[in-house]
Amino acid sequence: MDNLLLMRGVQRGDLRGFLVRLAPWSALLALGVYSACLILSRGLNQTNMDNRFVFGLWIFVDLGVIALGAGAFFTGVLLYLLRRHELRAVINSAVVLGFICYSSAIALLALDVGQPLRAWFTFWHPNAHSMLTEVTFCISCYLLVLTVEYLPVVLRNRRLRQVPLFLVLEFQLHKVMPILAAVGAFLSFFHQGSLGGLFGVLRGRPFAFREGLALWPSTFFLFILSAAAVGPSFLLVITWVASKVSGKRLMPPEARRLLARISGYMLLVYVSLKGMDTLIWINWTAPAAGFHPFWFYAYQPFGTWVLFSEVVLFGLLPGLVLSSRRPRDPWLVPAAAAACAGVLLNRFVMTIQTLSLPTLAFDGFLTYVPSWQEVAAFAGVLAYGVLVYSVSFRYLPLYARERQLTLASEEERHVSAKEERHVSVGV
């Protein structure tokens, strides 16, 4: 039965070995579900958050995975709207990654709110003056868009394509992909920005507060740009991991170079604007609020090394490597991973560091250590992502040119083996 579900022309390992490798991740997912049941049944007292430290591990992970999942909408825009057909080979993988990231974010938000049965209140009684309302609407709608985009990938399974209705449905859904790409870009633009704008309007948190630029604070635009910059890098990293695990070439060189250059150029633009924003904050915004800017870095766990790491080590340097006209392939994946680490560090700073810093002279630095239930829930989300992607990779056509690239790789190996034999005979 397993062989009938596999795609034609591709090779996968035996089913038993596949299930054995997924067993630890399944156990981790079960632990995450158990912790989620504890949290939903007993309340948020299962966490180490309180009325002062209201954003913890889950919100940091939410902001992080939403930023990394931006590769789905950005790759769709490049392929369907800007006609960069080199990316057709990886668009299905980008959609699956986006679906995993956004469904994970929704799951963690349900835990963070703690009352999923009242989730409909957000839609029926929206607070029109809250950025979180716009974020809730956009994330929910974009997850629906990603689900519709994921459906044709599922319907291309070998067995499902034998059903005429599914074949017609897949064909019709492909016709509306450009429209879905445009809608996804619109939704992602605003909810990525609103997540950043949420921190920029916090006047009670001078570390995060930014002056308005047009209608929004500068963090609104920085969040959008950073997410669009690292989305292609995250796709590069995941494809590299899948290639190493499967032992197959999955991404053609032209697609890899295009993703690297686009990510690098956007990352350099982001770093430039981030540097300007930081200088303005240091020289005008923080002093106007009565704070010396470097006072915020007096607590050594959040010292100036964090700012240097975010802007230079995980921003400027990866941007230079990725945007190089002649990038060396061995450096592409480390640079892309560093770019992803940079945006995660930025989200950590905006959520955890912002709340840890005192806002009054008699306040001290706050500390926060997640409870085991929080960590287990996060681990369950990670396991969920691994399981969904692994099953999708095994049974669905995530990489359109996998078969051609595999054949080319085998031919290269045969040619090199013949050359080695000729050399040995000549010697």
Q: What percent of the chain has pLDDT over 70?
A: 93
Q: What pLDDT does 406 receive?
A: 65
More confident residue, 403 or 195: 195
Of the candidates 234, 218, 215, 186, the one whose C-alpha atom is nearest the C-alpha of residue 66 is 234
More confident residue, 360 or 394: 394
What is the average pLDDT across 47-67? 88
pTM as predicted: 0.89
Instruction: Tell me which DSSP letter residue 6 carries.
Output: S
Report domain extents, the chain: 2-397
Secondary structure (DSSP) of 43-88? -GGGSS--SS----HHHHHHHHHHHHTHHHHHHHIIIIIS--GGGG
Q: What is the pLDDT of residues 64-86, one digit of tens each?
A: 999 998 878 788 888 888 888 88
Under the banding of pLDDT at 50, 70 and 90, the label for residue 32 is very high
Secondary structure (DSSP) of 106-144? HHHHHHHHS-GGGTTHHHHS--TT-HHHHHHHHHHHHHH
CATH of domain 2-397: 1.20.1630.10
Q: What integer best gives the mean pLDDT of the chain?
A: 85
For residue 274 the two structure tokens come to 């981030």
Q: What pLDDT does 249 receive?
A: 84
What is the average pLDDT across 246-262? 87
Under the banding of pLDDT at 50, 70 and 90, the label for residue 174 is confident
In this structure, are residues 96 and 150 in contact, taking their beta carbons and an 8 Å threshold? yes
- Radius of gyration for the alpha carbons in the chain, expressed in angstroms and rounded: 23
Q: What pLDDT does 97 receive?
A: 92
